[in-house]
Amino acid sequence: MSKTSGPTLEMLWEHRDPVRVLSERFGFVDGDEAAVWVSTALADLWGVEVEVCHRLVMSDRNALAWVSASSGPLLAKWSVCEERFPRLAALARLTTWLGAQGLPVSAPVAALDGRVQVELDRASLSVQRVVPGDLLDVTALDDVRQAGAVLARLHSALATYPSADAVAALLAPPVPTQDRIRSWLEEAPDHVPGVAVDALRRLVADAPVSRWPAQLVHGDFRSANVLCAHSAVAAVIDFEEARLEEPLSELARAAVLLGTRFRDWGPVAAEARQALLDGYRSVRDVTAAEARWWAVLVLWNSVRMIPSGEDPMGWTSAALEVLHGI
């Protein structure tokens, strides 16, 4: 690295002192020491000379560093959660494959030896190119439709991933969404409005009994993980929460949580949910049986977001609005 300028230290969503977190979780005295570690790793393993490390953001036991290099801006991501290292390596290979299929993802940059996820100093590290774009604006309905279409393309591609079994072996076994809803209804929290719980029970009872195969899905499809530029989806990022699930279940959860960001977890308007569904349907078929379950899944995901205490984001009113629209 030709120079250091003390990267800005931030927490992604936790209200903690980033300097203390950097020391306690990652073992660095300060930002400069972390920047030197990142720069040395990129030079030795990727052959990249870092000019400056601008920013370092931490979340749980993960960290991201934005750096400038002669090859362009890069993002170094690493985790110190050792039990997740095999999963991270498998998902890095998956993201690389998706990129090769023409999907808008932020694929990792291969190291000099070809690896896309490298273990170093008890950390698991990857490097990506910084994708220009802004987080998805859920009030821009054309962009939301584009996001729905991209989600459908992702689901279709993930269903054909050649190494899906190897990834699945590292993930929790799937539980059918219909079973999860019924289990939730058996012990529905007292703070959830009874009218919503009763309606959900009726909807489940009336819905067709269907079983859809679980497959690999993104796991966390929402505004914070969808970058847009020039009225198009530039990249879907952060596949670290990938799971085995029915695609319709992910679509409905994404429709409810689409507007959530790092510290802003508010609901979206019905128009945004519909735009996401419309975009998805423009690429991938939704069967009549799935369409019947759509209302159930959207209501269930909405009521699950209602907090037990104060509700400054308005999830209760949003869930009741979903109910009244059914």
Residues 125, 139, single domain; the answer is no
Q: What is the domain extent for residue 279? A: 134-325
Residue 6: predicted pLDDT: 86
Residue 265: predicted pLDDT: 83
User: Domain for residue 227, yes or no?
Assistant: yes
Burial of 249 (0-12, 13-18, 19+ CB in 10 A): buried
State the Cα–Cα distance between residues 124 and 88, nearest whole angstrom. 8
Question: Taking Cα atoms as reference points, which of 255, 235, 269, 237 lies closest to residue 298?
Answer: 255
Task: Tell me which of 89, 114, 129 is where a domain ends.
Answer: 129
Contact 286, 280 (CB under 8 A): yes
Residues 254, 290, single domain; the answer is yes
Residues 197, 122, single domain; the answer is no
User: Domain for residue 1, yes or no?
Assistant: no
Residues 145, 224, single domain; the answer is yes
Residue 5: predicted pLDDT: 56
User: Domain for residue 3, yes or no?
Assistant: no
Task: Tell me which of 129, 145, 161 is where a domain ends.
Answer: 129
Q: What is the SS3 assignment for 11? A: strand
Domains held by the chain: number: 2
> How many C-beta atoms lie closer than 10 Å to residue 139's C-beta?
12
User: Domain for residue 69, yes or no?
Assistant: yes
Distance (Å) of CA 75 to CA 85, 107, 166: 18, 11, 27
Residues 85, 139, single domain; the answer is no
Non-local (6+) Cβ contacts of 289 within 8 A are 208, 210
Which residues pair with residue 56 across a beta bridge? 9, 65
CATH of residue 83's domain is 3.30.200.20
Which residues pair with residue 50 across a beta bridge? 69
C-alpha Rg value of the chain to the nearest Å: 21
State the Cα–Cα distance between residues 262 and 135, nearest whole angstrom. 11
Contact 12, 57 (CB under 8 A): yes
Residues 175, 123, single domain; the answer is no
- Residues of the chain with confidence (pLDDT) below 50: 1-4
Residue 2: predicted pLDDT: 34
User: Domain for residue 2, yes or no?
Assistant: no
Which residues pair with residue 235 across a beta bridge? 227
> How many C-beta atoms lie closer than 10 Å to residue 165's C-beta?
8
Residues 119, 176, single domain; the answer is no
pLDDT tens, residue by residue, 168-211:
999 999 999 999 999 999 999 999 999 999 999 999 999 988 77
Contact 294, 315 (CB under 8 A): no
CATH of residue 159's domain is 3.90.1200.10
DSSP E strands, the chain: 8-11, 50-59, 62-69, 74-79, 118-120, 123-129, 134-135, 215-217, 226-229, 232-236, 243-245
State the Cα–Cα distance between residues 37 and 233, nearest whole angstrom. 33
Task: Tell me which of 129, 151, 175 is where a domain ends.
Answer: 129
85-113 burial, b if ≥16 CB within 10 A, otherwise e?
Answer: bebbbbbbbbbbbbeeeebbbbbbbbbee
Residue 167: predicted pLDDT: 97
